[in-house]
Structure 1
Amino acid sequence: MNVDRLIFAIAGIFILLSITLSQFHSIYWLGFTAFVGANMFQAAFTGFCPLAMILKKLGVEPGNAFN
């Protein structure tokens, strides 16, 4: 997997996990969902993604979106 695919996978896991936690624990977990969505939105326009930087430093093969 490259960086782009890992970012989509991790963001999807975070969103599903926070929605599940909001249903069973506290509604405030939806704030985390909003944070992930906002970060994905800004990364689409700026190309800046902290997770992409971390994955690159860990040696994951870069994709096309976050070169």
Structure 2
Amino acid sequence: QSQLPATTPLSDAISKDMKKRGFTFVGPTIIYAHMQATGMINDHTQECFRHRECKRLARGQ
């Protein structure tokens, strides 16, 4: 079974930027979890039955 990341370069950058702006408790893992929850990223593996549908929805189809 593949391991999914807890952070990405994008979540690291967003976290760093938000901390510069005075936000607290916004580490890269929390930002990544937010990105998952809001559909900004599709973490379903290709074997998952939801992967194709999530990918289609992300394209706006």
TM-score (norm 1): 0.34
TM-score (norm 2): 0.36
Q: Greater helix share, 1 or 2? A: 1
